[in-house]
Amino acid sequence: MQGKITKRMVDALQAGDKDEYVWDSDLAGFGLKVTPAGRKVYLVQFRVAGRTRRVTIGTHGVVTPDQARQEAIKLLASVTAGKDPAAIKAAAKAVPTVAEVVERFFAEHVATKNKASTIFEYRRQADRVIIPRLGKHRIDAIQRSHISSLHNAMKATPYQANRVMALLSKMFNWAELVGLRPDRSNPTLHIQKYREAKRESLLNDEQLARLGQAITEAEQSGAASPYTVAAIRLLIFTGARLGEIRTLRWEDVDLQRAVLRLPDSKTGAKSITLNPPAMELLSSLPRAEGNPFVIVGKVNGHCMVNINKPWRAIREAAELPTLRVHDLRHVFASIGVGMGMGLPIVGKLLGHTQAATTARYAHLASDPLQRASAQIGEHLKAAMEGKSSDNVIPLSPRASTGG
């Protein structure tokens, strides 16, 4: 059937028992397909390299006849210019979405290049933010405006916003590497990070006492399992990272030498020195038969997955609602520095490989000049009050004549 394709004509067409085609009498190659279900689809037909090809333009009702005609003119012009609109459209359909790229990125890169704790955090960011916000877009269609909009939407949680940007940057760099995007097209470029407030909480003795009481009450009431309680106490006593304690194996525990020998951690193989409280805890903790892990999980033979729920209950009971598990590591370090231990010693206990990492606690150490002046002042005060002091050295007449 042939005739000028107009709205009146298209509206009047009735569905048959098979696909019917109408070809426009004014523009060769421009046509309409009517399916048995009554769906009316605009299309364009042309020949490329001796083959007849068809490209769908749109459905009637969504696209008007005039709009379809104008698009047909453009497509036919591209054929005249030596292009194949059908091949171009097929190639466009082959471009994966962001959601598809996320899965491939995790399978081919993240799973092989990152530790389990990092994979867990990346997966959480992807599932909660990246896929819901960007997942339906084609990977090659993502522009800086998309990323800027996402980052701005997360301004209320700057820390998480910056972590998501870091993950996106890695993913788009990888997408360029495997040919899914042109080189140097990373849309996260020039997106400035939010300023992050210091998040660490340093507890005083009274707060530590409340935390200890809350842990004991959770243990006695059964609100937290013995292994959860053991994990939290080990974090406090050792300054270790959660992942290091959660995945700790009995074969890595050397009670005779009072040390944990971790074959793998965030900074590689490391040793953690055990103090008496940690030694006592490990010595009394029951071992689960057939389970190599110290902190036993609910699944036989596996370690604990997370301690989030009991930890939240414990910190609420201790009236420390913003205290994070990782803050326990900072508490361990701050106490050591506050007691006058040198930063290199504290850094060694924490397993820091860079001195700059430990230097964040430098402000907690007493000024040596201030400490020395205070000691001299105390001794002078004691001497002037006629109180004996082993540290007060009487001045000889000769010494007193010096400048």
In tens, the pLDDT along 116-163 reads 778 888 999 999 999 999 999 999 899 999 999 999 999 999 989 999
Q: What is the mean pLDDT of residues 296-312?
A: 88
pLDDT of residue 395: 44
Q: Which CATH class is domain 98-177?
A: mainly alpha
Beta bridge partners of 296: 303
Q: How confident is the model over 235-283, as pLDDT tens digits? A: 888 888 888 899 899 999 999 888 888 886 655 677 888 888 888 999 9
What is the Cα–Cα distance from 114 to 130, expressed in whole angstroms? 19
More reliable by pLDDT, 378 or 152: 152
Q: How confident is the model over 83-126, as pLDDT tens digits? A: 877 666 765 567 889 999 999 999 999 998 887 778 888 999 99
CATH 3.30.160.390 correct for 2-94: yes
Q: Where are the domains of the chain?
A: 2-94, 98-177, 205-363
CATH 1.10.443.10 correct for 205-363: yes
CB atoms within 10 A of CB 57: 20
Residue 294 confidence class, pLDDT cut points 50, 70, 90: very high
- 232 contact partners, CB below 8 Å, separation of at least 6: 215, 224, 307, 311, 314, 325, 328
